[in-house]
Chain A
Amino acid sequence: MHGYLGIDVGSVSTNVVVIDADREVLQALYIRTKGQPIQAVKKGLAEIAGLLPADLVIRGVGTTGSARRLSGVMVGADIVKNEITAHAIAASHVVPQAQTILEIGGQDSKIILLRHGVVTDFAMNTVCAAGTGSFLDQQASRLNIPIEEFGGMALRSKTPVRIAGRCSVFAESDMIHKQQMGHNTEDIIAGLCEALVRNYLNNVGKGKEILAPVVFQGGVAANLGIRAAFEQALGMEIIVPRHFNVMGAIGAALLSREEVKHKGHTGFKGFAVSDMDYRATSFECQGCSNLCEVINISVDNQLLARWGDRCGKWETLAG
């Protein structure tokens, strides 16, 4: 039996997916990165290996997400792809007619427009993370509500209050103010969901032609309140795929399948990677006034890769 592995290491979660030769998801894992991408990848690989049938052979591996390069070096990825392309690939695989993808993750949010299965336009939040998962997480914990219940509570609101959504600092002070005025928590949460959607559509979605079918994915798609706010704001149905929170990893796995078709073999180092001693160290290069922060990635004390310099001096040393 053959399978393809996809790994998406993002700021908040690390997702590991294995698909079979027919591109169906065999296993999917969603674990928290907790700022330690190397540990998260090792943990994810160890866990998923235990869930797979014994006769399964990994024929290809792809990585994506903000730590795609790091994780790619660790596992011997056949393809290392940016998360925008990976998300688009996965969405158009699951919903072949998809024309719009809304994706909200931990630190970034994006919109991707597809026409006839081709990405024609995309945008990503530029500077502020007001409309992303981390901010929702933070507010949920401030209000002492488990994030899983956050969206459901929003749906119980009768009269959502208005919250300023443009900047996370403004939003938070606005929320505190409304709380102190005596508004109930449901209404504040619903207001926050609406503010987040408004901000997303006005910033990331500015000037974009949003056509159905609309696919909503990324960790925040679990939030019922945000889903409802999107449906209301757009006046159309929103499709949330079954594996909405690991779509990037699915995209990476799909891409590795294509890549290996051309290449003929995989560079996958095996699940034993999870037992190896990977280390990342860094130093500041004193070669010029740029003072680049150079990162060394080593396994069992052997240098595996090195990057972070602007001039290429250290990168080439890594050979």
Chain B
Amino acid sequence: MKITFPYMGTSHIAFKHLFNHLGHEALVPPPPSKRTLTYGTQHAPEFACIPFKVLLGSYIEALEQGAELIITSGGRGPCRAGIYGMLHERILKSLGYKFEMMVFESIFREPLGFFSKVRRVLKAGRVSWPRFIKVYKDAWVKLCALDETEILSHEVRPYELNRGETTKVFKQCLESIDRAQTREEIREAGSIARKLLKAVPQDRSRRPLRIGIIGEIYVVLEPFINLDVEKTLGEMGVHTQRSIYLTDWTRENTLVKDEDAKAAARPYLDQLIGGHALNSVGETVLYAKNGYDGVIQLAPFTCIPEIVAKSLMPKISRDLGIPVLTVFLDEQTGKAGLQTRLEAFVDLLRQKRRWKEEGTGCTAI
């Protein structure tokens, strides 16, 4: 079967590996583009959020290329995303596409459903369970290599001597990880990627600002929608640390663990209100406590969970002295507005640092 799935950051490389090795043909949707947006906004309800529209557009592009099965994940808590899979399916079927849709809910919440869906995929691909476990582990190792490479790229970029070089090397790394097929090859590609990134000419005497990136998962992970916020900040000399990566493994390497974030959020928000709101709140607290210079919250326009989180930000910001910039994202592709806000935010953080260190203010920019 030709299987397609959501396009989100670099994860498609691991999903491609998974399905190709399970006796199917992985159909990677084209990276989100203006065409994706056009399809998505044309057929989605006007009031839906941007992740819904981009995914819909992406599915249409994949179906046009002959996808037969769409595999996606369900939502988390009371957020519209929980019904997106079903809604996507209905809209696409009403447009006349013939396909099957599989929405994977959390294995813990719906173990039976989870396994029966996996079984159907395996049966169609004539793949045994032991083989599946091996392939799944390989894909996981790949995903870890991808996340690890990306984390390193955000760390190297603010030091790079030639603007854009880190991004160029990062792209090459992704290509070689994509080519790696056996577990050994994947590990090898990952370690070469690390070496290549570390070899980017750098000026280590710089002192980059550190900014934590939080918010709704799709807009945080997909650079097309967040207008390359991490690359842009990196090239302004900022080391970004993102709270969300798809692998738990990398979470050990990042600052924020899920349960820690929930505990940290408690003084401000003590329950799950849908989406990533609780994490956004808790992660902001943790970034502040760990001496980060600032936090940027990325949210889809009209996203209720993130709106609630945003309304708590002024208090957290005051209590813990951490500046927070909230950016609402929708279908804009013009970058000027975001660029202005990011530049001003970085200026603010630099001034603040200088104020702390030297006691001089605005006139000394």
Contact A92 B344 (CB under 8 A): no
Contact A312 B343 (CB under 8 A): no
Q: Which partner residue on chain A sits nearest B301 by CB separation? A: A127
Mark contacts of B311-322 with chain A using CB atoms, 8 A cut-off: 1 yes-contact digit, 0 otherwise.
101110110000
Contact A290 B330 (CB under 8 A): no
In residues 55-103 of chain A, which contact B (Cβ within 8 Å)?
A: 66, 81-85, 88-89, 92-93
Contact B33 A289 (CB under 8 A): yes
Tell me, yes or no, whether B30 is within 8 Å of chain A by CB.
yes
Contact B351 A290 (CB under 8 A): no
Contact A312 B323 (CB under 8 A): no
Give the CA-CA distance A108 to B341 in the complex, in Å. 12
Give the CA-CA distance A23 to B330 in the complex, in Å. 42
Say yes or no: A291-B33 contact (C-beta < 8 A), given A117-B363, A316-B164: yes
Contact A93 B363 (CB under 8 A): yes
Number of A-B contacts (CB under 8 A): 93
Shortest distance from the beta carbon of B336 to any chain A beta carbon, whole Å: 6
Contact B348 A312 (CB under 8 A): no
Q: Which partner residue on chain A sits nearest B347 by CB separation? A: A85
Contact B351 A312 (CB under 8 A): no
Q: Of A118, A120, A122, A289, which one neighbours B344 at CB under 8 angstroms? A: A122
Give the CA-CA distance A117 to B336 in the complex, in Å. 27
Give the CA-CA distance A108 to B344 in the complex, in Å. 14
Give the CA-CA distance A55 to B105 in the complex, in Å. 75
Shortest distance from the beta carbon of A281 to any chain B beta carbon, whole Å: 18
Shortest distance from the beta carbon of A96 to any chain B beta carbon, whole Å: 9
Residues of A within 8 A of B31 (CB): 288-290
Tell me, yes or no, whether B191 is within 8 Å of chain A by CB.
no
In residues 157-213 of chain A, which contact B (Cβ within 8 Å)?
A: 206-209
Q: Which partner residue on chain A sits nearest B340 by CB separation? A: A82
Tell me, yes or no, whether B104 is within 8 Å of chain A by CB.
no
Give the CA-CA distance A49 to B262 in the complex, in Å. 61
Residues of A within 8 A of B341 (CB): 84, 124
Count A-side interface residues using an 8 Å CB cutoff.
36
Q: Of A66, A121, A312, which one neighbours B336 at CB under 8 angstroms? A: A66
Residues of B within 8 A of A304 (CB): none
Count B-side interface residues using an 8 Å CB cutoff.
39
Say yes or no: A117-B362 contact (C-beta < 8 A), given A82-B347, A127-B330: yes
Tell me, yes or no, whether B90 is within 8 Å of chain A by CB.
no
Contact A118 B347 (CB under 8 A): no
Residues of A within 8 A of B361 (CB): 92, 116-118
Residues of B within 8 A of A310 (CB): 228
Shortest distance from the beta carbon of A153 to any chain B beta carbon, whole Å: 32
Contact B365 A255 (CB under 8 A): yes
Say yes or no: A89-B344 contact (C-beta < 8 A), given A120-B352, A127-B301: no
Residues of A within 8 A of B328 (CB): 126-127
Q: Of A66, A88, A117, A206, which one neighbours B340 at CB under 8 angstroms? A: A66
Contact A118 B352 (CB under 8 A): yes
Residues of A within 8 A of B315 (CB): 207
Residues of B within 8 A of A116 (CB): 355, 361
Mark contacts of B132-165 with chain A using CB atoms, 8 A cut-off: 1 yes-contact digit, 0 otherwise.
0000000000000000000000000000000010
Q: Which partner residue on chain B sits nearest A126 by CB separation? A: B328
Tell me, yes or no, whether B34 is within 8 Å of chain A by CB.
yes
Residues of B within 8 A of A82 (CB): 339-340, 343-344, 347
Contact B340 A312 (CB under 8 A): no
Tell me, yes or no, whether A258 is within 8 Å of chain B by CB.
yes
Contact A119 B351 (CB under 8 A): yes
Contact B323 A120 (CB under 8 A): yes
Give the CA-CA distance A101 to B318 in the complex, in Å. 19
Residues of B within 8 A of A249 (CB): none
Q: Of A118, A126, A127, A258, which one neighbours B351 at CB under 8 angstroms? A: A118
Q: Which partner residue on chain B sits nearest A89 by CB separation? A: B362
Tell me, yes or no, whether A250 is within 8 Å of chain B by CB.
no
Tell me, yes or no, whether A114 is within 8 Å of chain B by CB.
yes
Residues of B within 8 A of A89 (CB): 362-363, 365
Residues of A within 8 A of B365 (CB): 85, 89, 255, 258
Shortest distance from the beta carbon of B24 to any chain A beta carbon, whole Å: 24
Q: Of B33, B228, B313, B344, which one neighbours A84 at CB under 8 angstroms? A: B344
In residues 265-303 of chain A, which contact B (Cβ within 8 Å)?
A: 288-291
In residues 209-268 of chain B, which contact A (Cβ within 8 Å)?
A: 224, 228
Say yes or no: A207-B344 contact (C-beta < 8 A), given A92-B361, A119-B351, A119-B362: no
Kindly name the residue among B317, B339, B351 whose own CB sees the greatest number of chain A CB atoms within 10 A: B351
Contact A114 B362 (CB under 8 A): yes
Tell me, yes or no, whether B126 is within 8 Å of chain A by CB.
no
Give the CA-CA distance A288 to B32 in the complex, in Å. 11
Apart from the given pairs A114-B362, A127-B328, A288-B31, 7 other A-B contacts in the complex at a CB distance below 8 Å: A84-B341, A84-B344, A89-B363, A108-B337, A116-B361, A119-B347, A310-B228
Q: List 5 A-B contacts (CB under 8 A).
A: A82-B344, A118-B361, A120-B323, A120-B348, A127-B301
The 7 A-B pairs of least Cβ separation, nearest first, read A117-B361, A207-B314, A84-B344, A289-B33, A82-B343, A117-B362, A118-B361
